[in-house]
Amino acid sequence: MGNFVSDFIIMTKPRVWVFLLITGIAGEVFALGILGSLDLIGFFYVALYIALGLMGAESLSNYFDLSIDKKMKRTMNRALPSGKMSPKVALYGGLILIVITLILAEFRSFLSFAFMATGIFDYTIIYSLLTKKKTSWNIILGAYSGGAPLLAGFYAFTSAYNLVSILLFLTIFIWTPLHIWSLSIKYRDDYAAASVPMLPVNRTTRQSMGILFPIALLAVVVTVLTGYAFRVYFPFYVGLIVFLVYLLLGISLLVSYLRALAQPDKRIMKLFVSTNIFIGVFFVFIALFSILIPFIGVAK
């Protein structure tokens, strides 16, 4: 039984969903910070159903991606394509986790339920089932699901409109194609062999990097705007530090892109890694600064 559980968790790609869980937790911490609340029971309750929903969505997505994963060298040794786990386990296990998630979310907050439900639908149905094998726009159409856990975490504690929460969502939405397409450039042949029309499959490396330029620039702009909007929760000098942190993060991402643009064959995976580091640091600082709001923040 222990081996089955561990194999199932590995099948859900924890390196993917743990990152998204971190964004959901950052949304929770931000909400609790601006509310000045220490709702630990609510915090763990929401984190639990976000984690279960992410695992369920990944499990169902793996079921839909089975035919693709069998053809790609990068994925053929995963649990489902290698035959280590039955596709029925991924299908029914994923559906059970999703149902549990939505029940738990509905008891907490309708908005949180709505963001979890639409995020799961976008990732599993819109992205994995309907568009991944048909259009280069697949990752754009699926980018909403990346930001949904953050909104689900934030709006589990409040129903009030908040500009920073929207900017956080937009950061993930814009970051997603930069992150995925940089990886797709590296594994272009793998995607082509599986007939997955990722952007770099239908474009040269130079063309793909050119398309990524406005996306990278927009990611930087939204990052800086996030820092600018977030600063208002703090006294002037602390707010200035907050703004400078996000300004430097945005600049570092742009520099990584420009280096990859100059030498794509040598630096494309460094761009991919830098996008991982960028988004991780981005949300760690969101959580850290949010924890400080009740102590040194400005009342809003």
Q: What is the DSSP string of 57-99?
A: HHHHHHHHTHHHHTT-TTTTTSTTTTTSS-HHHHHHHHHHHHH
Query: Is 40 in a helix, a strand, or coil?
Result: helix
Q: What percent of the chain has pLDDT over 70?
A: 98
pLDDT at 69: 87
Backbone angles phi, psi at 65, to 5 degrees: -90, 5
Give the rounded distance of the alpha carbon of 93 from its chain centre.
Answer: 22
Q: What is the pLDDT of residues 67-125, one digit of tens each?
A: 888 888 888 888 888 888 889 999 999 999 999 999 999 999 999 999 999 999 999 99
Whose tokens are 């300004």? That residue is: 247
**CB–CB of 144/119 below 8 Å?**
yes
pLDDT given at position 299: 62
pTM over 0.85? The answer is yes
Kindly report, residue by residue over 221-256, the tens digit of the pLDDT. Answer: 999 999 999 999 999 999 999 999 999 999 999 999
For 65, other C-beta atoms within 10 Å of its C-beta total 23
